[in-house]
Structure 1
Amino acid sequence: MLNVLSGFMVVVIIIALGYLVGRRGLLGPNAVYALNMFVFYLATPALLINFLRDADLATVFGDNLAVVVISTLTAGLVGFLGYRFLARRPVSDSLVTMLACSYCNGSNLGVPIATHVLDDPAASLPVIIFQVALYGPATVLLLDVTTRRARTDSPGNGSLVPLIRELILGIVRNPLILAATVGIILSLLHTNTGWKLPEMLTEPISLLAAGTVPAALVAFGLSMAEVTVLDRDTSSRRSVWMASLMKTVGHPLIAYAAARLVFDASGPALLAFVVVAALPTAQNVFTYSQRFGVNTVLARDSAVVSTMLSIPSIAVITLLLG
């Protein structure tokens, strides 16, 4: 437990340093974007390849993926039904709330936390793959259909073919999906033939991978210094808090129940399942909402508030399960 808690405190310290640097503006106005792009396109893919090339794929994609699917869909359904029938909001708004309650920040924050706190960078890989390859695209299609219907009062107008093509291209071009595919292939080659990458390639991959955690956490701290949320005039504060609590408290509780009752998980595996579920709402949710002009304030504010709540949430989880 002490190792887990010390690892978590290191994460908090680096985030705090990033926040302080951001408040002083020491890295300039575009530092968040530059660091996030380095993490997304170079460091995280290298980290995934570096880990997966020697990993046990059955462990990575076994119970972990099942818990991700069960907990994500359940948390999302609770958020959708609550917003749709209790707040009496349109289907499109409720779909964005569904994502705010269940769509994890599995890459920018999930990978560094999984790496440093859980000592397992692939712990967040199943949630990344599920969200990027299935959950996100399916919800985007639903958002397109519902917003198109609201605009035209006719469900049959327009074609979904360009959107579907764009979603498919987005998946196959995603550097995390590509890196995971490369890592899986290398793992299969190593398992079946004994072949390994030459050191000339593994060395630069390892060096890039080592930059994932510090760069991602500093960028995260920088971003927290730049946002203003819960505006009294524009933000539905109650809905934001409910969605954020669902993401950082409800979602991990659902993951815990699924892991314990369905898969009889315990120890480090159970800790990993629950910590991944406690990750905050991803920025992708704001991107999707902005694209369709639906519930954008809730999506933006939930990402920030859930991020702040995720720190004590994950700390409590590590205390109880570590």
Structure 2
Amino acid sequence: MLDVLSGFLIVVIIIALGYLVGRKKLLGPSAVYTLNMFVFYLATPALLINFLSSADLGDVFGENLAVVILSSFLAGAVGYLGYRHLARRPVPDSLVTLLACSYCNGSNLGIPIATHVLDDPTASLPVIIFQTAFYGPAVVLLLDVTTRRRDAGTHATPSLGPLLRELVLGVVRNPLIIAAVCGIILALVHHANGFTLPSLIGEPVAMLSGAAVPAALVAFGMSMAEVTVLDPDTSPRRSVWAASLVKTVVHPLIAYALARLLFDAHGAALLAFVVVAALPTAQNVFTYASRFGVNTVLARDSGVVSTLLSIPSIAVISLLLG
């Protein structure tokens, strides 16, 4: 338990350091974007390749992936039904709320937390692959259909060809997906005949992977210093708090129940399942909402509020299950 808590505190300290740097603007006006691009295109793909190349794929994509899929659907359904029928909002707005309640920040925050809290950076890989390759594109398609019908009438026939091509290209061009595929291939070859990357390639990959976690956490802390949320004039504050609580409390509770009931998980495996589910709402949700001009304030504010709530949530989970 002490190892888990110390790892979590390390994450919090680096985020706080990034926040202070952001407040003082020590790295300049575009530092958050630059750091995030470095992490996204270079450091995190290197980290995935470095660890996946010798990982046990059964541990990475077995029960973990099943819990990710089922818990995401159930938490999303709670958000969708609540916003649709209790708040009585349109379907597109409710779809954004579905994502706010269930779409995890699996890369920028998930990988650093998995590395230092769980000592396993691959623990968040199933949620990254599921969300990037299936969950996100599926909801984007639903958003496209429902917003077209809302704008053009219920009998409008949407043209999905360009959107489908864009979604497919977005998946196959995603550096995290590319890195995951490369890492999986290397792992299969390694377990088949013991092959490892030659040092001329392996050492640069390892060096880049070492930069992923600190750079991601510093960039995340800096980004927190730049946002203003819960404006009383523009923000649906009650809905934001509700979505954030579903994401950081209900979602991990669902994951816990599924892991215990379906797989009798315990120990480190159970902790990993629940911590991954407690990750806050990803920035992608705001990106999707902005693309269609739907519920953008809730998407933005729930990303920030759920991030703040995820810190005590993951701390409590670590105390109880660590």
TM-score where L is the length of structure 2: 0.99
- Map 1:85-164 → 2, pairs under 5 A: 85-164=85-164
Structure 1 residue 155, shift from structure 2 partner: 4.3
Instruction: Provide the secondary structure at the position in 2 that maps to 1:17.
Output: helix
Which residue is equivalent to 1:253? Answer: 253
Which residue is equivalent to 1:232? Answer: 232
For 2:157 and 2:119, the matched residues in 1 are separated by: 50
Which residue is equivalent to 1:171? Answer: 171
- The one-letter amino acid of 2:62's match is G
For 2:155 and 2:291, the matched residues in 1 are separated by: 19
Structure 1 residue 179, shift from structure 2 partner: 0.1
Q: Structure 1's 127 and 155: CA in aligned 2 closer, same or farther, altered over 3 A?
A: farther
Counterpart contact for 2:112–2:213, Cα < 8 Å: yes
Which residue is equivalent to 1:28? Answer: 28
For 2:158 and 2:114, the matched residues in 1 are separated by: 42
Counterpart contact for 2:50–2:183, Cα < 8 Å: yes
Structure 1 residue 157, shift from structure 2 partner: 2.8
For 1:99 and 1:43, the matched residues in 2 are separated by: 26
Which residue is equivalent to 1:83? Answer: 83
Counterpart contact for 1:145–1:155, Cα < 8 Å: no
- The one-letter amino acid of 1:161's match is G
- Larger mean Cα displacement after TM superposition, 270-279 or 195-204: 195-204
Which residue is equivalent to 2:195? Answer: 195
For 1:193 and 1:15, the matched residues in 2 are separated by: 41
Counterpart contact for 1:79–1:97, Cα < 8 Å: yes
Which residue is equivalent to 1:314? Answer: 314
- The one-letter amino acid of 1:197's match is L
- The one-letter amino acid of 1:48's match is L
Counterpart contact for 1:148–1:155, Cα < 8 Å: no
Cα shift readout 1:145-183 (whole Å, capped 9, x = no counterpart):
000000110444341000000000000000000000000
Counterpart contact for 1:280–1:303, Cα < 8 Å: yes
For 1:46 and 1:155, the matched residues in 2 are separated by: 48
Which residue is equivalent to 1:181? Answer: 181
Residues paired across the two proteins, number: 322
Which residue is equivalent to 1:242? Answer: 242
For 1:103 and 1:68, the matched residues in 2 are separated by: 10
For 2:94 and 2:292, the matched residues in 1 are separated by: 13
For 1:123 and 1:48, the matched residues in 2 are separated by: 11
Counterpart contact for 2:57–2:184, Cα < 8 Å: yes
Structure 1 residue 193, shift from structure 2 partner: 2.1
Cα shift readout 1:268-299 (whole Å, capped 9, x = no counterpart):
00000000000000000000000000000000
Instruction: Provide the secondary structure at the position in 2 that maps to 1:211.
Output: helix
User: Is 2:4 the counterpart of 1:4?
Assistant: yes
Which residue is equivalent to 1:205? Answer: 205
For 2:92 and 2:302, the matched residues in 1 are separated by: 16
Counterpart contact for 2:145–2:158, Cα < 8 Å: no
Structure 1 residue 191, shift from structure 2 partner: 1.0
Structure 1 residue 253, shift from structure 2 partner: 0.3
- The Cα RMSD (Å) is 0.6
Instruction: Provide the secondary structure at the position in 2 that maps to 1:29.
Output: coil
TM-score where L is the length of structure 1: 0.99
For 2:227 and 2:276, the matched residues in 1 are separated by: 24
Counterpart contact for 1:289–1:295, Cα < 8 Å: yes
- The one-letter amino acid of 1:130's match is F
Structure 1 residue 192, shift from structure 2 partner: 1.1
- The one-letter amino acid of 1:103's match is Y
For 1:41 and 1:15, the matched residues in 2 are separated by: 21
Which structure 1 residue ranges, 5 or more long, are not aligned? none
For 2:77 and 2:289, the matched residues in 1 are separated by: 18
- The one-letter amino acid of 2:273's match is F
Counterpart contact for 1:19–1:218, Cα < 8 Å: yes
- The one-letter amino acid of 1:84's match is R
